[in-house]
C-alpha cells in the first residue's frame, strides 16, 4: 500500500478512536455543571450546534441554585400600548374560528375572530375560593369538550370538571399543573407535582417530583407514573444537574429539576405507537415520547437545540411544533423527529419573547397560532411569518398589568355544537 494511503488510514483510525474516547469522557463529565458549560462552548466551536441560530443557555455552577428552584410565575406584564382585543384581522388569510383562552387571575372565555365574547366560565361558586394575588380564579389551563364541559386547574392545584353553567361535576384534589389531554377512550392524562426530600438529589432541599396521572372520565385516579423515575432510569439521566453539594441560602424552596409542562396522547398515524405520550420538559430543554407502557422513553430531542421550551405539539404530518422560549428572544420551530432536523422556524429579530409559558397550534389552513403568554397576547402567522390576526388580552387591571394567557386554542365553529344549541 502506498505511503500516502497508509498515512490517511492511520489518521482516520486515530480520529475515530478520539471521537469514541471523547464521547465516553463527555458523558461522564456532562454530569458536572462546569464541565457541561465547557462542553457546550467547545461543541459550538466545532459546529455541532447549527440546528438553531441561538446558543443554549450555559448554567455555571455559581448560578445553578437559582436555575433549579421552582419558578415564581408572573400574573402578567405592564401594558404599554393600551391595545385591547383584536387589533389585526386579515379576513382573507386568517383561519376563521372560535378562540378559547384563560386570563390568568380571571375567567375562561370563548371569543370570535372579532374578539366578541361568546361564552364565559367563572370560578365555581360551590367550591372554597382558590385565591392568587387577591383574585378568585382558575390557575392557568382549561380543556374544552364539544358539549361545553370544561376541565380546569384551579390555583390551589385541584382539577375540576365544570358544565357549561360553571357548575362542578367533580373535583380531584392534588397539585395538578400546566397541562392535560384526553385520550380517545375518555381517560384524562394530567401532570402533577409532589414534593419530597430525595437524598440522591439533595440532602435537605425538597424536590418536585413530576407525575403523569391517568384518571377516568369521572376523575378517579387509575395510575400515577413518576416521570422523575422514568428519566432517572433512562439513558438520559445525565441531563439531571449535579446539585448534591450546592448550598442554598434562605428558607427552603422546592427544587424543580424537570418542570414538565405539556402532555399529549398520541393516536393512530403518527411516527410513534398509538398510546404513546408526548411530553415537554422545560428545565432539561427537552421534548420526549414515552412508550404506551409509560415506563420508558422512546425518543428525546432538544438539549443543545432548545432553551426552556414549552408546548411541543404533534402535527398531522408527523413533525413536532415547539415554542422555544429562550432567555431574551423566543422562536417557534417545527422539527422532524425522524431526522431530528428543523424544517421551519418563526424567529423575528425582535419584539417576540415570553420568558415562561407559551403555546403553539397549527391551524387547518397551514397558519400557526402563537400565544405569547407573559405579554398576554396571541397572534396568527402565515408560513412566511406574516401576522394576519392578533389579540391583546383586554383584561388590564388598574395598575396597568395585562393578564397573562397560558394558551389560546382555536376551534372550527362545527367543533363546538353546544354553542349552536344555546342560540
Task: Yes or no: say if 369 and 363 are a contact pair by the CB < 8 Å rule.
Answer: yes
First and final C-alpha spacing in the chain: 87
Q: Which three cell numbers stand for residue 253?
A: 424552596
Average pLDDT over residues 206-232: 96
Find all residues with CB under 8 Å of 350, minimum gap 6, and list them.
329
According to the model, what pLDDT value does residue 251 have?
65
Closest by CA position to 358, among listed 138, 144, 178, 174 = 178
Average pLDDT over residues 300-306: 96
pLDDT band at 51 (very low <50, low <70, confident <90, very high): very low
> Kindly report the CA angle at 354 between 329 and 80, in degrees rounded to 5?
100
pLDDT for 251-266, tens place per residue? 667 888 899 999 999 9
Q: How many Cβ atoms from other residues are within 10 Å of residue 392's Cβ?
A: 23
State the DSSP code for 320.
Answer: E
- Report residue 335: phi and psi, to 5°: -125, 155
- The ranges assigned to domains in the chain are 6-43, 62-421
Q: Residue 78 above 60 pLDDT?
A: no
Q: Residue 24 above 50 pLDDT?
A: no
Percent of the chain whose pLDDT exceeds 70? 76
Q: Residue 421 above 60 pLDDT?
A: yes
Task: Yes or no: say if 257 and 207 are a contact pair by the CB < 8 Å rule.
Answer: yes
Give the architecture (CATH level 2) of 62-421.
Answer: 6 Propeller (2.120)
Closest by CA position to 230, among listed 210, 214, 250, 203 = 210
Q: Which three cell numbers stand for residue 280?
A: 415537554
pLDDT for 157-172, tens place per residue? 899 999 999 899 999 9
More confident: 23 or 199? 199
Q: Give the gyration radius of the chain's Cα atoms.
A: 23
Supply the mean pLDDT for the chain.
Answer: 82
Closest by CA position to 332, among listed 303, 369, 299 = 369
pLDDT for 40-50, tens place per residue? 444 333 333 44
Closest by CA position to 198, among listed 240, 234, 156, 250 = 240
Find all residues with CB under 8 Å of 199, minimum gap 6, and list them.
none
Q: Which three cell numbers stand for residue 104?
A: 390568568
According to the model, what pLDDT value does residue 330 have?
95
pLDDT band at 270 (very low <50, low <70, confident <90, very high): confident
Amino acid at each position: 500500500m502506498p505511503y500516502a494511503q497508509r498515512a490517511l488510514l492511520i489518521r482516520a483510525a486515530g480520529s475515530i478512536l478520539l471521537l469514541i474516547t471523547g464521547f465516553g469522557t463527555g458523558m461522564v463529565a456532562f454530569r458536572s455543571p462546569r464541565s457541561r458549560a465547557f462542553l457546550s462552548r467547545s461543541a459550538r466551536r466545532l459546529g455541532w450546534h447549527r440546528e438553531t441560530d441561538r446558543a443554549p443557555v450555559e448554567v455555571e455552577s455559581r448560578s445553578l441554585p437559582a436555575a433549579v428552584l421552582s419558578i415564581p410565575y408572573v400574573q402578567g406584564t405592564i401594558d404599554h400600548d393600551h391595545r385591547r382585543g383584536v387589533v389585526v384581522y386579515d379576513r382573507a388569510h386568517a383561519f376563521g374560528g372560535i378562540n378559547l383562552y384563560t386570563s390568568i387571575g380571571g375567567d375562561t372565555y370563548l371569543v370570535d375572530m372579532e374578539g366578541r365574547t361568546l361564552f364565559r366560565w367563572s370560578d365555581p361558586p360551590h367550591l372554597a375560593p382558590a385565591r392568587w394575588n387577591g383574585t378568585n380564579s382558575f390557575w392557568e389551563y382549561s380543556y374544552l369538550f364539544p358539549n361545553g364541559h370544561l376541565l380546569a386547574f384551579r390555583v390551589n392545584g385541584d382539577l375540576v370538571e365544570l358544565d357549561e353553567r360553571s357548575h362542578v361535576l367533580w373535583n380531584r384534589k392534588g397539585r395538578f399543573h400546566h397541562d392535560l389531554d384526553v385520550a380517545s377512550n375518555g381517560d384524562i392524562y394530567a401532570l402533577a407535582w409532589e414534593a419530597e426530600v430525595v437524598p440522591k438529589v439533595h440532602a435537605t432541599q425538597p424536590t418536585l417530583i413530576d407525575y403523569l396521572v391517568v384518571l377516568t372520565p369521572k376523575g378517579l385516579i387509575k395510575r400515577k407514573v413518576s416521570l422523575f423515575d422514568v428519566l432517572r432510569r433512562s439513558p438520559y439521566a445525565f441531563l439531571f444537574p449535579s446539585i448534591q453539594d450546592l448550598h442554598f441560602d434562605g428558607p427552603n424552596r422546592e427544587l424543580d429539576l424537570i418542570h414538565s409542562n405539556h402532555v399529549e396522547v398520541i393516536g393512530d398515524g403518527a411516527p410513534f405507537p398509538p398510546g404513546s405520550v408526548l411530553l415537554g420538559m422545560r428545565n432539561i430543554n427537552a421534548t420526549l415520547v414515552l412508550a404506551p407502557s409509560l415506563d420508558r422513553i422512546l425518543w428525546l430531542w432538544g438539549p443543545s437545540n432548545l432553551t426552556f421550551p414549552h408546548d411541543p405539539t404533534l402535527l398531522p404530518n408527523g413533525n413536532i411544533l415547539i415554542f422555544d422560549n429562550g432567555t431574551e428572544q423566543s422562536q417557534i420551530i417545527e422539527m422532524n423527529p425522524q431526522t431530528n432536523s428543523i424544517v421551519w422556524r418563526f424567529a423575528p429579530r425582535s419584539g417576540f419573547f415570553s420568558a415562561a409559558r407559551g403555546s403553539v397550534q397549527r391551524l387547518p389552513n397551514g397558519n400557526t397560532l402563537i400565544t405569547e403568554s407573559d405579554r398576554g397576547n396571541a397572534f396568527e402567522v402565515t408560513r412566511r411569518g406574516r401576522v394576519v390576526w392578533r389579540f391583546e388580552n383586554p383584561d388590564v387591571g388598574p395598575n396597568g398589568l395585562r393578564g397573562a394567557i397560558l394558551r389560546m386554542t382555536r376551534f372550527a365553529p362545527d367543533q363546538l355544537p353546544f354553542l349552536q344549541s344555546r342560540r
